[in-house]
Structure 1
C-alpha cells in the first residue's frame, strides 16, 4: 500500500509510522538534507528510534514535553521526529525571542529537556536557567550535554507509544503581534488532517521540498510533515537568502516549497531570477501574511508550477485555499473554504452576518488546536460556538465573501482604525500608498487622536535613490483617499519590523510612534 493510499483510507495515523514504512520500502531514498549533509530514510528511522529510546530512558513519555531552540537543521528535525515517536510533545521556540520570554515558554511547556545550538543557547543565556537540562544539537555549547553523548546507542529501540488524535503533537508559542506568548497545543489529529490535505499536491518519493522558513513556525510545518509523510526529501536552509535559494532550487531539482510574501517579493526582484532553471517545480505555497495580487500575478507569469495560498491560523479552525494558477481572476482573494472547512463571518455581537456583508472570520475543521496551554480563559476567548453548539476558532480577521464563495480579507480586527466613528482598514490605505513610485513598502497604523478617537499614520520604506519628501507622499495619498481616510502623518523607515515569517509587527510601529512623539 502506498503512502497516498494509506492516508486516504485511514481517518488517523502518524507521520512516525509512515517514515518507518518508507525506511523499509525505500531505505536509500533521501529524507533530510542541509548544508552539512543528507540522511536517507533508513538512517532517519534509526536515528528517531535512538532519540525516542533516550527520551524514554530519561523518563519522558506521552504527555511530557521537550523544547527546541535552534536554527533549522537535520539534527533539529531528527530530534523533533524522534520525540514524536516517543509520544513526547515538542515546543519549538524562536531563537529571536527575548531571553526572559524563552524561559517562560520552557517553564510553561513543562519541558524536561531543551535542545539548542549555539544560536539558541545564546538567545536563552541571559534569562536565568529554566528547570530543564540542555542538550547541544551541534558542536560544543557550554553547560550543555552533546547530542552524541546523550542519544541512545545504535540499535536501540523505543517502547511503542500509544497516541490518540487529541494527544499533544507540538506546542507552538505564538505572540502574533500582541505581545505575551500563548502556547498553542496542536494534537496528532490536527497534523494528520494537514497530511490528508497535502495528498492532492503531488508529494511523493521523487519530491524535493526546499524550506527556508523556521521549523518553529506552523508555516513551515504544514509542508515539512506532508513531504516526509509521502516519502519525499526536505532541504533545510537555516536562513533565507534569495541568491542561495535560487541556486539550491536549480541544483537539487526542487519540486515544492513554502515561502512567505516578503520572500516571494525578494526572489522575484532578484536580478538572476530568470536565469535559473526552476522547471521541476510542481507546487509553491504561501501563507502567514498578506500576499498582494500583483505579486501573485508576477509569480504565475515567471515561475513554473502551481501557486497555492493557504489562509488560516496556527490555532487551526477553517482554512481557505486559493489555487492561484486555476483562478487568475481571484488573486485579490485568499480563495474558498477548503474541503472539510466551515468558514463563517460574524459581527461584534457574535451573530452571523447576512450574505455580502463583512464580518470577523471564524472557522471549523478537523484541524483545530486543543487549546492554549494552561490558559482556559484565553482558549474560550478564541472560540465561537454556533447556535447548534458547533465549535469554531476566531481569527480576528475581517473579510467578505463574494458571490462565488471567495474570501477577501480587509485587515486584522484589532488593526482596524476607528476614526470619527468610521471603520478604516489599513490595507486600503496601504494599497493607495504603494501606487506611488517613491514607496517600496509601507504599513499604516492607528494612533490616538483627541479629535477623532484614532487617526491613521503611515510608515514608508523609500524606493532606493528616490528623494521625494514624506510630506509630498502624504499629500499625494490624501488626494487619492476619501475624506475620512486621510493620513495624519507619514514617516520614513529603513525597513518595516517583521516576524520571522514576514508579518509586519504593527505593535512595534505604534511603540515607535509613541516614542518619537515623546
Structure 2
C-alpha cells in the first residue's frame, strides 16, 4: 500500500508510513543532524535493524523502550524502531533528577535503557538502582555501543499487529516535583495527528525542542509520517535556529513562546531570509499577545497557536494570521473537540463565566501508567456520561467562542476571599516600558490568606527600582490585586519547554513578613 493510500485509512501506523516513504522516496531526506543526514531508505533500514535487535533481546509488543539522551539521529531512529517492534517509546527528560529517572525507568519497566555519556554520568550515583541494560547512543563506553548492539544490516523484524489503543509512547509529567506520572498515549491518537494535513513531502520542519517533549512530537511525528524532512537541533540557540532555517529553506517550526521571544529580540532578525516559511506553531506555555503580533508582522508565513495537554482531551487552535484581533485568546475548539467549563462542584458554567477547562476528543490518553487513582482524578464525566480530561486551567469563552485562559487553577490566588488571576496582573505589568516579562504568585499572608508577589525581569539597559515599579503597578489595579512585594530576577526559572516554574518561585520566596 502506498503512503497516500495509507493516509486514507481510519487507522494505520507510523512505522507502516515510514516503510512506504522508504519505498516511494528512498533518497528523500528524512533527518538532518548537523552535517549528518539520513534519507528514508536509510531510516527504514535502521528501524528494521533496531526492531530486530529489540525483539532479539526479548522486548515484547506493548512493552516500553526507555530513551534518555540529547536529540540525535540515533535517538530519533530508536524511537521509530521501537514502534516497528510494536513497543511503546518512553522518552525520559535528562533534566530530571537521578532519583526521578530511576522511578520512571522502574515504572515503565524497560529492560533496555538508551542513553548518552552525559546522562550516564549524571546517573552514576544511582547506578546500583538501575537494572536495565545500558546502550550508548553516542558510542561511548557508558554502555554497549549502539552500533555493536544493532542487528546486522538487512535484518527483518517479526511482523507485529498493532491495535488503535495499543500504547504508542509514555510521556512522563511532573518529573521535577513529586512522583512522575506516565501519560500513556495510544496509536490512534498519534495517527490522528499525522493525518491532520498540515505537513507534506515538501515540508522542512525545524525540531528545536527535545524529543522527550510532547510539544516536539506533535510536529516531528507528522513530518516524518508525511514524508517531509526534520532538521534536528540538539540544543536551541536563536542565532543557530535562524541560520539553519535559512540554510535548509525551512517551511515549518514548532516553538515555545520563550523561543519566539528570544528569536524576535535578536537585532539581526530581519537580515535572515525566512521567506520559505509556510506555518509556525506554538504551544505549551502562555504566548504574550505582543510577541504574537511581532511574529505576524515580521516573520513570513502563518502562525498557529495550539492549546491542549499531553494527556489529550480537548484542544483549541488560534489561527493568529486570520484573527489578529484575538491574540489574547488561545482560539476556538478544534474540529471534533468538545471543550466545556465547569465549576468547583463539577457543574457546567454559563457562557461568559469562568470555569475549569475540560475537554474530550479522539486524542485522549489511555491513562496514567500504573496509577489508576490519578487517572480517575484527571477525568470528568458529563451528564451524558461522556469522558473528559480535566486540564486544571481556568478560562472563559467570549461571545465569539474564543477561549481566554486566566491561569492554572492551582496558581489562582485567593486573597481575603477574592479570586485574583495572576495573568491579569502579568498583563498589566507588561505594559510598563521597562518590563520584559513577569510571573505573579500567591504567598501566605496572615491577614489575607494569600497575597500576590511579582517576579520581574527588566529589559536590557533599563533601570527602575522595585519600589517604583510596585507603586506604579498598585496605582493601576484594584485594592485586592495590589502587590505585596516585587522582586527582580535576571531570568525566570523555566521547564525544558519554557513553562515558568511558579511553584519554585512560591517555595523560594524569602520576602518580608506579609501579615499586614
Give the TM-score, by structure 2 length. Answer: 0.97
Q: Note the C-alpha offset of 1:27.
A: 0.3
Aligned to 1:215: 211
Measured at CA, do residues 175 and 517 of structure 1 come closer, stay the same or move farther in structure 2, by a change above 3 Å?
farther
Aligned to 2:284: 288
Query: Secondary structure in 1 aligned to 2:86?
Result: coil
Gap runs ≥5 in structure 1 = none
Measured at CA, do residues 145 and 516 of structure 1 come closer, stay the same or move farther in structure 2, by a change above 3 Å?
farther
Aligned to 1:492: 488
For residues 260-299 of structure 1, the aligned pairs below 5 Å read: 260-299=256-295
Aligned to 1:115: 114
CA contact (8 A) 2:17 2:225 kept: yes
**In structure 1, what is the Cα distance between the partners aligned to 2:117 and 2:479?**
53
Aligned to 1:137: 137
Q: Note the C-alpha offset of 1:464.
A: 2.1
For residues 289-438 of structure 1, the aligned pairs below 5 Å read: 289-438=285-434
CA contact (8 A) 1:61 1:161 kept: no
Aligned to 2:459: 463
Measured at CA, do residues 291 and 502 of structure 1 come closer, stay the same or move farther in structure 2, by a change above 3 Å?
same
Aligned to 2:125: 126
**In structure 2, what is the Cα distance between the partners aligned to 1:101 and 1:60?**
23
Query: Secondary structure in 2 aligned to 1:366?
Result: coil
Query: Secondary structure in 1 aligned to 2:119?
Result: helix
CA contact (8 A) 1:257 1:284 kept: yes
Give the stretch that moved more between structures: 178-187 or 248-257: 178-187
**In structure 1, what is the Cα distance between the partners aligned to 2:56 and 2:92?**
24
Aligned to 1:509: 505
Q: Note the C-alpha offset of 1:74.
A: 0.7
**In structure 2, what is the Cα distance between the partners aligned to 1:470 and 1:24?**
63
CA contact (8 A) 1:178 1:507 kept: no
Measured at CA, do residues 81 and 177 of structure 1 come closer, stay the same or move farther in structure 2, by a change above 3 Å?
same
Q: Note the C-alpha offset of 1:194.
A: 1.2
**In structure 2, what is the Cα distance between the partners aligned to 1:417 and 1:178?**
21
Measured at CA, do residues 417 and 28 of structure 1 come closer, stay the same or move farther in structure 2, by a change above 3 Å?
same
Q: Note the C-alpha offset of 1:121.
A: 1.6
Equivalenced residues, count: 513
**In structure 2, what is the Cα distance between the partners aligned to 1:300 and 1:214?**
25
Measured at CA, do residues 516 and 205 of structure 1 come closer, stay the same or move farther in structure 2, by a change above 3 Å?
farther
**In structure 1, what is the Cα distance between the partners aligned to 2:333 and 2:3?**
26
**In structure 2, what is the Cα distance between the partners aligned to 1:445 and 1:125?**
36
CA contact (8 A) 2:100 2:175 kept: no
CA contact (8 A) 2:51 2:84 kept: yes
Q: Note the C-alpha offset of 1:5.
A: 5.3
**In structure 2, what is the Cα distance between the partners aligned to 1:33 and 1:444?**
40
CA contact (8 A) 1:117 1:141 kept: no
Q: Note the C-alpha offset of 1:117.
A: 1.1
**In structure 2, what is the Cα distance between the partners aligned to 1:175 and 1:158?**
35
Moved over 4 A (4+): 514-518
Measured at CA, do residues 178 and 432 of structure 1 come closer, stay the same or move farther in structure 2, by a change above 3 Å?
farther
Query: Secondary structure in 2 aligned to 1:480?
Result: coil
Matching of residue 80 in structure 1 with residue 76 in structure 2: no
**In structure 2, what is the Cα distance between the partners aligned to 1:516 and 1:225?**
49
Can you list the C-alpha shifts for 1:302-347, whole angstroms capped at 9, x where unaligned? 1111101110000000110111111111111101110110000000
Gap runs ≥5 in structure 2 = none
Aligned to 2:183: 184
**In structure 2, what is the Cα distance between the partners aligned to 1:377 and 1:509?**
29
Can you list the C-alpha shifts for 1:217-238, whole angstroms capped at 9, x where unaligned? 0000000010011100101001
Q: Note the C-alpha offset of 1:15.
A: 0.7
**In structure 1, what is the Cα distance between the partners aligned to 2:74 and 2:372?**
34
Matching of residue 162 in structure 1 with residue 158 in structure 2: no
For residues 191-270 of structure 1, the aligned pairs below 5 Å read: 191-197=190-196, 199=197, 201=198, 203-270=199-266
Q: Note the C-alpha offset of 1:437.
A: 2.2
**In structure 2, what is the Cα distance between the partners aligned to 1:492 and 1:319?**
35
Q: Note the C-alpha offset of 1:3.
A: 3.8
Query: Secondary structure in 2 aligned to 1:445?
Result: strand
**In structure 2, what is the Cα distance between the partners aligned to 1:318 and 1:216?**
22
Q: Note the C-alpha offset of 1:161.
A: 1.2
Query: Secondary structure in 2 aligned to 1:317?
Result: coil
Kindly report the root-mean-square deviation, in angstroms, between the aligned alpha carbons of the 2 structures: 1.5
